Structure 1
């Protein structure tokens, strides 16, 4: 594992719509091995190997993360904010926030009325976002001058490597970005001759907007989308609804009607042939995956798309956690599948009507 790269990706504050810092890490690393790197007008970043023409196979992961956006600064210097993406409101209270202010980053603390001053009803009621404000420990005039409305931020948290685990904010989805970067590097090193395009897409957390544009522009043969899924050994997670994808179970292959069953079955065979552990679950819905995989699937005439997910505990919090062994499995499955699929063309559902060798 390249822990230096992973740490750099995780430390890059890049909420949806302001992904420049994560994009810079992506491009700096990709330029060390890719044949071509570039960006588009919306902020998606790309790295390619192989020929520059022809419909590519795509590896995709979103580079943005959840965060906050300043909505108002009052006369006392209290900073109010909207959410970028969604998070349990209880997590905010007492949390440190890094604001990406125009004149330089600022650190503040999210505060709420002290419990001693709350009524009985307030104590049992759920936390409302409008009750929270950010305290920067600066004079009110200084806050108003340095923090214009629209300033964005992320919850501040250290990156911790503990045994085979990593704990950090933004593992959703920088761990996916790390996986596709490493997969493309290995494909290059192993002499892949096909056109492979890696996409680091923007604004997944607020509407999958970057993926929609990238999918339309590239018109790929097929797409492997990497994101996180729920780690199901965590207390309170209902495995009867979600299925099981605990730490150490490898990569999760999502099963649902919108995702291409022929491509998923090819990935299953590759994983089995290489003794790579995997699980299969349908997530929280069978209608759609709520990931960029849906957008690739529905682009243009339709793109055969698979969703490869890495189990993640405490998703959408500053203490997300993944097992690095699961990440390695995800990387290897992508690499082996792409190498085995060279020259095979587009995958169709009807391919599964043909007999397949057991060996």
Structure 2
């Protein structure tokens, strides 16, 4: 597994609406692996690989945006207040390093708040709110106001490290899936795999704020078959139960049954299970009662609807700066996606 590529993908900035850095990294990789590559008006990267059947195209979507923030105000001392871009648990912001992507260059900062030593007893027991935090750039107020503008995006800082059999970093949601889709394109090209159907690999924008990119790309591509690629909850540690864990690290890639935004097509679920079992790819079922993915956008924003499923990467600590995925689960996700997009002619698609 190319951990250097995974690290680059995971750590390159790309908050919702401000995906240019990660988009540029993707564009620098995919040209040699596809028949055509383009960027649409909203910023999705659309890669086309020709297959034998161009009348029933397939599409896989991996969102390239990461949860982040946007500068909301700057006071005279240079402290920055911010608004979230995507869903945050405020307690996860404590003592985090962030990068403000200002017009003059990137600026490292830290999340600050009121020290516990001077909190009143009632404050210590109160749940944190995002308004309790500010960003400290360690610079004089005048300099901050010269360098930073209202509306500048902010992302978290967290390098990728190996922890046992796993990788650990911020934004594995959803850069793990971006990596899986990149590696799938590379291996299809290098192994000269013949695809049954035209395939569109789409790196979408603004998923974390409402599946916005996939809606635009699905409407244009109009896939018959859609595969969502995203992370999913692995609550498999202390305090978990079979009912709450959703998935477990190291138990293989996950085949989605449903989440709060989509009920996957039973035909696609059967097809994906059959492909995995035939190739002895380790997999586990995923039923997620909260959270949504680009899968829903492909299913509902294609005229007449698309036959959709999703490959999910089990991940601990989702939306924290210490997200963790198992290397073997990543490998299994690549292996399954390759088979799924190559062999749609082997599925039973009768309704």
- TM-score normalized by the length of structure 2: 0.93
Say which is worse superposed, 105-114 or 48-57, in terms of deviation: 48-57
1:132-171 map, 5 Å:
132-171=133-172
Conservation of the 8 A alpha-carbon contact between 2:7 and 2:159: no
Conservation of the 8 A alpha-carbon contact between 1:99 and 1:106: yes
Q: CA deviation at 1:238?
A: 4.6
- 2:243 is aligned with 1:208: no
The residue aligned with 1:115 is 116
Q: Which runs of 5+ in 1 are unaligned?
A: 351-359
- 2:4 is aligned with 1:4: yes
Q: CA deviation at 1:247?
A: 1.0
The residue aligned with 2:274 is 269
Q: CA deviation at 1:30?
A: 0.6
What SS does the corresponding residue of 2:243 show, helix, strand or coil? helix
Conservation of the 8 A alpha-carbon contact between 2:78 and 2:140: yes
Say which is worse superposed, 303-312 or 331-340, in terms of deviation: 331-340
Inter-partner Cα distance in structure 2 for 1:36 and 1:161:
34
Q: Map Cα deviations across residues 166-218 of structure 1 (whole Å, 9 max, x no partner).
A: 10011000110111111122223233243111000000000000011111110
Q: CA deviation at 1:294?
A: 0.9
The residue aligned with 1:31 is 31
Inter-partner Cα distance in structure 1 for 2:28 and 2:282:
32
The residue aligned with 1:106 is 107
The residue aligned with 1:354 is none
Conservation of the 8 A alpha-carbon contact between 1:242 and 1:283: no
The correspondence for 1:338, drawn from 330, 333, 341, is 341
Q: CA deviation at 1:26?
A: 1.1
Report the number of matched residues: 344
Inter-partner Cα distance in structure 1 for 2:15 and 2:285:
30
What SS does the corresponding residue of 2:263 show, helix, strand or coil? coil
What SS does the corresponding residue of 1:82 show, helix, strand or coil? strand
Q: CA deviation at 1:235?
A: 3.0
Conservation of the 8 A alpha-carbon contact between 2:44 and 2:213: yes
The correspondence for 1:236, drawn from 236, 239, 244, is 239
The residue aligned with 1:62 is 63
Inter-partner Cα distance in structure 2 for 1:345 and 1:261:
12
Q: Map Cα deviations across residues 150-174 of structure 1 (whole Å, 9 max, x no partner).
A: 1111111111023431100110001
- 2:329 is aligned with 1:326: yes
Q: CA deviation at 1:258?
A: 2.4
- TM-score normalized by the length of structure 1: 0.91
Conservation of the 8 A alpha-carbon contact between 1:242 and 1:282: no
Inter-partner Cα distance in structure 2 for 1:272 and 1:190:
23
Conservation of the 8 A alpha-carbon contact between 2:234 and 2:245: no
What SS does the corresponding residue of 2:338 show, helix, strand or coil? helix
Greater per-residue strand proportion = 2
Q: CA deviation at 1:284?
A: 1.9
RMSD between aligned alpha carbons? 1.8
The residue aligned with 2:192 is 190
The residue aligned with 1:292 is 294
Q: CA deviation at 1:54?
A: 3.9
The correspondence for 1:278, drawn from 248, 266, 283, is 283
Q: CA deviation at 1:253?
A: 1.1
Inter-partner Cα distance in structure 2 for 1:346 and 1:133:
54
Conservation of the 8 A alpha-carbon contact between 1:258 and 1:297: no
